[in-house]
């Protein structure tokens, strides 16, 4: 190990946290600290770059003292390793998703979207790429195969129409104003301290439309069986943006952008995760994609 990782592990009672397939080593150090250690050679191609982006973002924003980040206690980066030591926090509970908690989450997200864009992220902003014909066909067939696992339960007609129109959805959605975004905004990346919401795991940070973060947050909640009033959440988010920037977010426009973002994400990726799932779970994702496509088309 490099970057003085040993001094933290040797000087503390620690427990390694299993973190799926990310390749990062994450440790609980006692009751008050979390240590993230990333080694290039332990990661699949391209993942180290995403951790570098996270590290550079922390480095940039540490100097600004923003309110939505966990406290970074130590930080090291080299060509092949990254070490981030941060304060440990609890996570907000899902058992009671109150309006007060949703307002705090919307407020934290509004802070991100209203914040300045680091220069190193701005150079990577590109126009959204439409899907080539073979990719559209792949996604269409993927969804058809998922639906075929539940004979006569679903109509494929809306699916064909979505496939026909998906690039129109992508091009319109890309017209949204570009802001600083988290890129992987969901409940597991939320932390709580003294009633305030903080946001961690910034490997997906970038510049894009605010609705992408909003859409992903809501879709992940829905996939976990937690349903909230989307219109109400949009209203809370709009209120929080206005309070911070003075800019009024058009709730109807963000509703359409969120719908478009969900259609793009669902059509592109969800079929890859739904094979072998029960009909009810497939229906939840498929019907939501169809409903959101209707919102986009009829707005």
Q: Domain limits of the chain?
A: 5-87, 99-298
DSSP β-ladder status, 190-193 and 72-77: unpaired
Would you state the structure tokens that stand for residue 194, as one six-digit string? 């003294």
Q: Return the pLDDT at 290.
A: 98
Q: Is 46 left (phi over 0), alpha (psi -120 to 50) or beta?
A: left
Q: Return the pLDDT at 8.
A: 72
**Predicted model pTM:** 0.84
Residue 279 CA to residue 259 CA, distance in Å, equals 23
Residue 174 has, within 13 A of its CA and on its CB side, a CA count of: 12
**Segment 138-158 mean pLDDT:** 98
Residue 212 CB partners (closer than 8 Å, separation 6+): 181, 183, 261
- Residue 20, pLDDT > 70, answer no
Residue 160 CA to residue 75 CA, distance in Å, equals 49
Q: Return the pLDDT at 15.
A: 81
More confident residue, 128 or 165: 165
The lowest-confidence range among 15-29, 123-137, 158-172 is 15-29
- Which fold would CATH assign to domain 5-87? Phosphorylase Kinase; domain 1 (3.30.200)
- Strand positions, DSSP E, the chain: 14-17, 25-29, 33-39, 72-77, 81-87, 178-181, 190-193, 196-199, 206-209
- Which fold would CATH assign to domain 99-298? Aminoglycoside 3'-phosphotransferase; Chain: A, domain 2 (3.90.1200)
Q: Are 209 and 185 in contact (CB under 8 A)?
A: no
The lowest-confidence range among 4-13, 150-159, 258-267, 271-280 is 4-13
- Residue 149, pLDDT > 80, answer yes
Q: 3-class SS at 278?
A: coil
Establish whether domains 5-87 and 99-298 are of one fold.
no
**Segment 4-18 mean pLDDT:** 73
pLDDT digits (tens, 9 = 90+) for 247-279: 988 999 999 999 999 999 999 999 999 999 999
**Segment 203-224 mean pLDDT:** 90
pLDDT digits (tens, 9 = 90+) for 77-116: 999 999 999 999 999 988 878 999 999 999 999 999 999 9
What does pLDDT average to over the chain? 90
Q: Return the pLDDT at 18.
A: 63
User: Could you please report the per-residue DSSP string of 34-49?
Assistant: EEEEEEGGGS-TTHHH
- Residue 1, pLDDT > 50, answer no
Q: Return the pLDDT at 67.
A: 92
Q: Return the pLDDT at 201.
A: 93
């Amino acid at each position: 190990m490099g970057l003085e990782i040993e001094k933290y592990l040797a000087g503390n009672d620690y427990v390694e946290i299993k973190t799926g397939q990310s390749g990062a080593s994450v440790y609980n150090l006692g009751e008050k600290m979390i240590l993230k250690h990333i080694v290039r050679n332990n990661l699949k191609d391209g993942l180290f770059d995403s951790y570098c982006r996270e590290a550079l973002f922390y480095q940039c924003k540490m100097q600004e003292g923003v309110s939505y980040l966990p406290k970074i206690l130590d930080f090291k980066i080299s060509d092949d390793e990254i070490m981030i030591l941060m304060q440990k926090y609890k996570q907000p509970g899902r058992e009671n998703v109150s309006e007060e908690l949703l307002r705090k989450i919307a407020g934290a997200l509004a802070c991100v979207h209203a914040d300045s864009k680091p220069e190193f992220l701005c150079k990577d902003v590109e126009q959204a790429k439409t899907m080539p014909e073979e990719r559209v066909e792949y996604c269409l067939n993927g969804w058809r195969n998922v639906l075929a696992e539940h004979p006569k339960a679903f109509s494929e007609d809306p699916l064909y129409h979505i496939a026909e129109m998906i690039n129109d959805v992508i091009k319109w959605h890309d017209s949204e104003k570009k802001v600083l975004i988290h890129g992987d905004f969901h409940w597991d990346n939320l932390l709580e301290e003294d009633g305030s919401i903080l946001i961690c795991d910034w490997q997906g940070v970038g510049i894009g439309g605010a609705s992408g973060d909003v859409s992903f947050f809501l879709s992940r909640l829905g996939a976990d069986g937690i349903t909230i009033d989307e219109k109400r959440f949009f209203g809370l988010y709009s209120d929080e943006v206005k309070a911070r920037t003075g800019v009024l977010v058009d709730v109807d426009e963000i509703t359409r952008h969120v719908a478009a973002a969900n259609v793009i994400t669902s059509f592109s990726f969800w079929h890859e995760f739904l094979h072998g799932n029960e009909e009810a779970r497939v229906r939840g994702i498929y019907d939501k994609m169809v409903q959101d496509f209707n919102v986009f088309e009829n707005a």
